Structure 1
Amino acid sequence: MTPLLLFLRSREVPGGLLCAVPAMALFAWFGAVQADPRHAVTSAALALALGVAVLGYGLGGPDATLDATAAIRWAPRRALHLVSTAVLAGTVVTVVTTAPAGVVLRDAVGFTGLAALAATLFGRRLAWTLPVVTGCVSAGIPAVPEPFALHLLTWAGQPPDSVAALTTAVAFAVTGVAAYVIRGPRRIS
């Protein structure tokens, strides 16, 4: 087997794809069939949170100690894995939803950063926590501009012209990607 196939198998990516892609498509489709465009944005955010959460399980291998001691450079592989996750999730949801592509891209990048941050802080088994909690909060609380703290908390459901939502998503992405690429998933003993 090639090194790429071995890497994908060790991260359980094929199984994650079989679950994540149909789930994202279904959630995004639920919002696309609604008349209100806000439902499309909310459904797209939930679809992305769910898909990135499922794919986030693959951000570490079954043996974190082996990953840490291997004689290969992990940083490029980790970065490529995160980029692939964001691109896949964004593409699937963009194809199905009627939400603006800018919102989908913003949310895909932000949720991927959150999954990477969660994998770094809590380990690969809990990489789903931050994207799911953020997605549910954004879906459960209406997107309002005031108070500002609530506006930041519901960044994933904000309209496409929200600078604060874009800044929050980019901050999560940069922080999560940097932490994950440099440190990798947390080793749970």
Structure 2
Amino acid sequence: MTQHLNGPIGMTASVRNLVGFTGLALVSAALMGARLSWLLPVASAMTAMTIGSPVNTGFAWDWPVRVDHDYSASVTAFILLLAGAIALLRVGPREVNRDR
């Protein structure tokens, strides 16, 4: 039996969050290296889930918890993906050289 996401936060929000978290992971990889690329997405998710509002009408800093039809949350997620792609293409993944 297949379950589908429904209600105010459904499939559209899940795709938006995938796009936004991918962008954050790319930015994090460019800034801190591939091993710590999980850090910005997790910090963003925890902050949004703790103090974010799904129906806030201001700047969408809490885009992961916004409802499906929130335009600013979608724009924010796609901007993050674009910024992450640009950062990774310009800088490349940052790796720390280790002594062998």
The residue that corresponds to 1:117 in the other structure is 27
| 2:27 matches 1:137 | no
CA RMSD of aligned residues (A): 1.9
- Alpha-carbon distance in 1 for matches of 2:49, 2:62: 8
Structure number with larger C-alpha Rg? 1
Identity across aligned pairs (percent)? Answer: 30
Q: Which of 71, 76, 96 is equivalent to 1:163? A: 71
- Alpha-carbon distance in 1 for matches of 2:3, 2:39: 25
- Alpha-carbon distance in 1 for matches of 2:30, 2:52: 30
Structure in which a larger fraction of residues adopt helix: 1
Q: Which of 5, 9, 15 is equivalent to 1:105? A: 15
Q: Contact (CA 8 Å) 1:137, 1:153: kept in 2 or not?
A: no
Superposed displacement of residue 138, structure 1: 1.6
**Alpha-carbon distance change, 96 to 138 in structure 1, aligned in 2, over 3 angstroms:** farther
Which letter maps to 1:141?
I
Superposed displacement of residue 177, structure 1: 1.3
- Alpha-carbon distance in 1 for matches of 2:15, 2:72: 15
- TM (norm. structure 1) is 0.45
Which letter maps to 2:24?
L
The runs of 5 or more residues in structure 1 that have no matched partner are 1-94
Write the deviation string for residues 112-139 of structure 1: whole angstroms up to 9, x where unpaired. Answer: 0100100001111210111001111121
Structure 1 stretches of at least 4 aligned residues deviating more than 2 Å after TM superposition = none
The residue that corresponds to 1:38 in the other structure is none
- Alpha-carbon distance in 2 for matches of 1:181, 1:100: 32
The runs of 5 or more residues in structure 2 that have no matched partner are none
The residue that corresponds to 2:38 in the other structure is 128
**Alpha-carbon distance change, 133 to 164 in structure 1, aligned in 2, over 3 angstroms:** same
- Alpha-carbon distance in 1 for matches of 2:61, 2:91: 26
**Alpha-carbon distance change, 119 to 161 in structure 1, aligned in 2, over 3 angstroms:** same
**How many positions carry a matched residue from both structures?**
92
The structure showing larger relative contact order (alpha-carbon pairs under 8 Å, at least 6 residues apart) is 2
- Alpha-carbon distance in 2 for matches of 1:165, 1:96: 25
